[in-house]
Structure 1
Amino acid sequence: LQKALRRSEALVEYQCSRMIQMQASTVLTQLENQEKKKGKGKDQNKRLHGDGMPRLLTSDEFYAVVEQATEQREKDAAAKEARSGQMDKYRKDLAHWKAEEDARAARNEAKTEAWRKAVADFKAGKELAKERNERWNGGKQQVRGPL
């Protein structure tokens, strides 16, 4: 009876581990398929009729479909070129803004540094007057103004 119980427990353990392996395999396959879909991107299908049936290539209907597909490709290429031009303009504007921003930051840093020097001079003068036991008539400590 003990042997049968051990065999049955071993079988259950094996089945459980096998089930986990199959689930893991399924999850990995799903993830792989998702990555493939993401990697494909937007492929342009150049087939006009992809159903596998033969077509008469000189018929008026097929010729019209070919013309329409050609026009669509030209429109897409023109739109892509326009977007490229807009992106170039954006990059130039961004570079100009970045240069102005860096100049503004440098001006603000110079103002802040001048203020820090004035505060340090004020504190040094105040400490000197304190050491000499003199009254400090240096005025108020300078306040940093707007940047």
Structure 2
Amino acid sequence: MATTFISPIKERDARLLSHQPRTEYEVELQQALRRSNGLINQQKEWLMAMQAQNILQDMYTRRLRTQLEYQEEKAAGKKSTRLHVDGHPRLLTNAAFIELVEQSRQKKEEEEAKAARKKDAKTHAQKQLTSALLKWEAECQKIEEDNTKEMEKWETSVEVWKKEQELARTERRKPHWTKPVKPTYTSGVLVKPPTKPKLGDFVSSRRTALTRKRQRANGNEAIEPKEDDSDEDSDEDDEGDGLSGD
């Protein structure tokens, strides 16, 4: 539906209505004009009320649609515990039904094991993060102390240089050394603090280690020991020798 601009209500035909009528016909015309203007103003009020109602309904509909979409997404994310079959009645001893139940049970166990591994990895990573944060704080404190000492050493050397500069100015000569260079991170004199460790660093490393461990375990299981064929070969040789002897 096209949107139409509604002009505000204003007084119309003020000049005609302010005219002093001279005849009864002019009086009737002015009354008809007032009724017409009143009807137009009333229609405008109705239109503005309808437009405001449409705006409120549109706002409510958008909010309701957003809530419904959120509920649908939330419902879709829930795990269903029902078995997906064709809906026909089946015996509990039916082979296909038993296989379906077994598959569902295995899938549930795999999901629970995956969730347990994830929780264990997060717990282990949290412990590693706590230990790493303690080391990081101690290292940052040591670096800050070293940087503070370097800055104090530079400030002391600058004070000595200023005295030398004043003495050289008094004696009308050049200072024996130049102004000390301020230590910076770029020059390598000041050391930047290390990056603060995060939980994601240890979770990813923990998952990688567990994955490699499972791969090694699966690889060892996949390798089957070779059978020793030495006895069979010796038996065949003995049989061959017996035939040749005959």
CA 1:37–1:104 in structure 2 vs 1: closer, same or farther (change >3 Å)?
A: farther
Name the CA distance, whole Å, in 2 between partners of 1:142 and 1:100: 32
Structure-1-length-normalised TM-score: 0.76
Q: Please provide the CA RMSD for this pair.
A: 3.1
Structure-2-length-normalised TM-score: 0.49
Question: Percent sequence identity over matched residues?
Answer: 14
CA 1:139–1:25 in structure 2 vs 1: closer, same or farther (change >3 Å)?
A: closer
Uncovered stretches (5+) of structure 2, i.e. residues with no partner: 1-35, 184-188, 192-246
In the alignment, structure 1 residue 109 sits paired with structure 2 residue 148: no
CA 1:140–1:124 in structure 2 vs 1: closer, same or farther (change >3 Å)?
A: closer
2:180 counterpart residue number: 141
In the alignment, structure 1 residue 36 sits paired with structure 2 residue 71: yes
Q: Retained in 1: the 8 A contact 2:150–2:190?
A: no
Alpha-carbon deviation of 1:123? 2.5
Which of 4, 24, 48 in structure 1 is aligned with 2:59? 24
Structure 2 matches for 1:1-147, cutoff 5 A? 1-37=36-72, 39-40=74-75, 42-49=77-84, 53=87, 55-60=89-94, 61-129=96-164, 130=166, 133=170, 141=180, 144=183, 145=189, 147=191
Aligned length: 146
Name the CA distance, whole Å, in 2 between partners of 1:131 and 1:34: 81
Name the CA distance, whole Å, in 2 between partners of 1:91 and 1:38: 31
CA 1:58–1:41 in structure 2 vs 1: closer, same or farther (change >3 Å)?
A: closer
2:228 counterpart residue number: none
Q: Retained in 1: the 8 A contact 2:161–2:179?
A: no
Uncovered stretches (5+) of structure 1, i.e. residues with no partner: none
Alpha-carbon deviation of 1:139? 7.0
Q: Retained in 2: the 8 A contact 1:115–1:142?
A: no
Name the CA distance, whole Å, in 2 between partners of 1:37 and 1:94: 37
Greater Rg by CA: 2
Select the structure that is richer in helix.
1
